[in-house]
Amino acid sequence: MPYPSGHRDAVRTRIVASARRLFNRHGFDNVSLEQIMSGAGLTRGGFYSYFRSKSDLYVEVLGCFFTDPDWKNVWEGVTVDLASTNAGQQVVKAYLSRQHFEDIENSCPMVALPGDVARGSESARKAFETVFTAMVDVLDQTIAGDRRRVKAQAIAALCVGGMVVARALVNRTVADQLRAGCIDVAMELGGWGKEVDLR
């Protein structure tokens, strides 16, 4: 009996979601295909009917809410409406939020995987660049004043780098202060005023 319409897409989505959680938690090299497929409720044997390699899957995992229209925000009290006039501020607050800091498995992969990407294939680096550029594009649309693109790039780097460093710190108070400082500087750089909310 044939599978219902949309079955293949649904299974592929489950595989990507499982890989995203596992890669974010453990890194690319420390996750096996068996773990990925088990996390999706499948066996390893079906993997190659969806992806040519673990690296190809990795490229797809690098997508996030900047590039994936089906990305579901899982952080309560944190919203990002990319069509709103204050999307830039929302992105900064969401990216440096307490929820994003604590929810490693549902992180934007630019935070969890930059070291893996830098050592990875050209296709993985291009996927990372696509996500980063999409984030810059969103920020660029709402930045005030001149040199908008340069400011957008700096704010995006501040968000990603700020979260990477905050997660690497042992002292939670220092990590929270760092996130607050990054939000403050990003808001000022974007011309959005100083508004720190570390929900």
- Can you tell me whether residue 143 is helix, strand or coil? coil
Q: What are the boundaries of each domain within the chain?
A: 7-61, 87-190
pLDDT, residue 61, reads 81
Residue range 7-61, CATH number: 1.10.10.60
Rounded distance between C-alpha atoms, residue 76 and residue 132, angstroms: 24
pLDDT, residue 183, reads 95
Helix axes 122-140, 148-168, angle to 10 degrees: 120
Q: What is the pLDDT along the chain (199 residues), one digit of tens a residue?
A: 556 777 788 889 899 889 988 988 888 878 899 999 999 998 888 899 899 888 888 878 876 666 666 666 666 777 777 778 888 888 898 889 898 898 888 778 788 777 777 887 787 788 888 889 988 998 998 897 889 999 999 999 999 999 999 999 999 999 999 999 999 999 999 998 765 554 4
DSSP 45: G
Residues in contact with 44: Cβ distance below 8 Å, sequence separation at least 6, in sequence order: 33, 34, 37
HSE-up of 114 (CA within 13 Å, CB side)?
A: 13
Rounded distance between C-alpha atoms, residue 99 and residue 111, angstroms: 13
pLDDT, residue 72, reads 60
Are 7-61 and 87-190 the same fold in CATH?
no
**CATH class for domain 87-190?**
mainly alpha
pLDDT, residue 155, reads 96
